[in-house]
Amino acid sequence: MAATQMEQLVSLCKRRGFIFQNSDIYGGLQGLYDYGPLGVELKNNIKAAWWRAMVYERDDVEGLDAAILTNRKVLHYSGHEDTFSDPMVDCKKCKGRFRADHLTDGKCPNCGSTELTEPRPFNLMFKTTVGPVVDENNIAYLRPETAQAIFTQFKNVVDSTSRKLPFGIAQIGKSFRNEITPKNFIFRVREFEQAELEFFVKPGEDEKWHEEWKQNRINWWVEQGLPRDRFRVYDQKPDELAHYAKACSDIEYAFPHGVEELEGIANRRDYDLGNHTKGQEEFNLEAHCHENPESTTKLCVRDEENNKWIIPFVIEPSMGVDRAVLAILTEAYTEEDLGNGNSRIVLKLKKHLAPMKVAIVPLKKNSPEIMAKCHELKKNLMKLGIGRVALENTGNIGKAYRRHDEIGTPLCLTVDFETLEQSPESVTLRDRDTMEQVRVPTSELAQYLRDYFAR
């Protein structure tokens, strides 16, 4: 199979309604994209698969959905105000701005000039003010990661659920980073979604859990249709680590533009809970950089073995949902030669991720009997709880199959004259990948589809 090109994906995404440029009618806004009718389904299905694996199928994780606007103090004591920056250089010739660590040969990627300024830190957080008075005291940030609210709500979650270590808090939501050079479609954007788990463990057990989460997350990616040989795990070197991390393993995937990070699995030790804690000096913290005279709470748990209060360590698998969409689309996109000069594009998505589950295709669109049966079937199938069901009313069965191959619909259901004439009444179901057809009595259809889409 030839490697999927970014242009093929961008074109498919626009043509079929997965992803559009934001503010398109005004020429767009750089680094922002909107998800269309099929994109929102795919993204929701990815998030649901993550939530299911992280929360529903485990006994040790609670969920959270926190606000995006964040009190300045949170991001001060987390270290983001001082250190959440990328090194930026300006090209003196064309005035372009770039991330210094993304330049490979010391030349401006726009004009090739070597006349660049010295790198200087550029803070990636979006700043705003809250309330009607615009001044220094009312500054807040759009969160640059979902994680911080998990740390600041740690005590509330523990107190309301009586959780004991080890346990985790999961959250999916928007994050914002004023990237110097957003690029590669939805890979590097300024507003994106993250699915993050903060898994709290006893100090000393962190390395074992880090390893455990690496394996866990790789297995999850394989279940979403990414073969093991298409990604690699890169353990960051000490000088590459974020300010809070003791270790970090990047799960990297072969995106159309190159091999880059899809998910990071960091050992954030006791850095965040420690920094947000009142009276840190009582604890034996591994590393903290700020005194904290402003916190009102100790973010700690009782270690029953030693009968003392401790600040847990945390392992954080952090997935970018938009990067997940891009990787899953890249992997699923297939061009197939059908012989005799015919070819088709098929999106070989796992069926739990497919935006449209079943397309009902009438053999003839101008037959009132066939159309009545199609509408009746659609009404019933929509209530099954399997997801979206479409009725393709074009009258061209070949075109309907091509369209649904291209958007990854696992099953096309055809209603023909035999459906109406034969007893028992039956329809054909065409499999997207094999193109094989089976006949199923309509009386068994609901159970057939429930079983087919059950996981």
> What residues make contact with ligand ATP under the rule CB under 6 A?
177, 179, 188-189, 192, 194, 261-264, 318-320, 322-323
**From the centroid of its chain, how far is CA 180?**
21
Nearest-angstrom CA–CA distance, 300 and 5: 49
Output the DSSP codes for 182-211: -BTTTTB-SEEEEEEEEEEE-TTSHHHHHH
For the CB of residue 5, give the shortest distance to ligand ATP in the complex, in Å: 20
Cβ distance to ligand ATP smaller for residue 265 or 353: 265
Strand partners, 86: 122
Cβ distance to ligand ATP smaller for residue 272 or 416: 272
Cβ distance to ligand ATP smaller for residue 320 or 355: 320
Cβ distance to ligand ATP smaller for residue 322 or 416: 322
For the CB of residue 448, give the shortest distance to ligand ATP in the complex, in Å: 37
Q: Cis link prior to 227 (omega < 30° from 0)?
A: no
Nearest-angstrom CA–CA distance, 134 and 119: 31
For the CB of residue 45, give the shortest distance to ligand ATP in the complex, in Å: 18
Query: Which candidate, 263, 148, 269, 265, places its Cα nearest to that of 201?
Result: 269
Nearest-angstrom CA–CA distance, 47 and 32: 19
Cβ distance to ligand ATP smaller for residue 73 or 257: 257
For the CB of residue 152, give the shortest distance to ligand ATP in the complex, in Å: 18
Residue whose C-beta lies closest to ligand ATP: 320
- Helical packing angle, 368-382 and 442-453, nearest 10°: 40
Cβ distance to ligand ATP smaller for residue 124 or 371: 124
Specify whether the CB–CB gap between 142 and 82 falls below 8 A. no
Q: How far is CA 49 from CA 22, 54, 82, 185, in A?
A: 26, 9, 35, 23
Cβ distance to ligand ATP smaller for residue 97 or 388: 97
Specify whether the CB–CB gap between 274 and 285 falls below 8 A. yes
Cβ distance to ligand ATP smaller for residue 266 or 429: 266
For the CB of residue 240, give the shortest distance to ligand ATP in the complex, in Å: 9
Q: Cis link prior to 203 (omega < 30° from 0)?
A: no
Helices (DSSP H) in 126-173: which residue ranges? 147-152, 154-161
146 CB-side CA count, 13 A: 24
Nearest-angstrom CA–CA distance, 331 and 18: 16
Specify whether the CB–CB gap between 176 and 128 falls below 8 A. no
For the CB of residue 168, give the shortest distance to ligand ATP in the complex, in Å: 16
Cβ-based neighbours of 38, under 8 Å, separated by 6 or more: 16, 17, 18, 355, 356, 407
For the CB of residue 105, give the shortest distance to ligand ATP in the complex, in Å: 20
Cβ distance to ligand ATP smaller for residue 177 or 351: 177
Cβ distance to ligand ATP smaller for residue 205 or 260: 260
Element (H, E) at 91: none
Helices (DSSP H) in 333-416: which residue ranges? 368-382, 397-407
For the CB of residue 324, give the shortest distance to ligand ATP in the complex, in Å: 8
Cβ distance to ligand ATP smaller for residue 31 or 387: 31
For the CB of residue 31, give the shortest distance to ligand ATP in the complex, in Å: 8
Residue 197's φ and ψ, nearest 5 degrees, are -120, 130
Give all strands (DSSP E) within 290-376, no chain letters: 301-303, 308-310, 313-320, 333-339, 342-347, 356-362
For the CB of residue 432, give the shortest distance to ligand ATP in the complex, in Å: 28
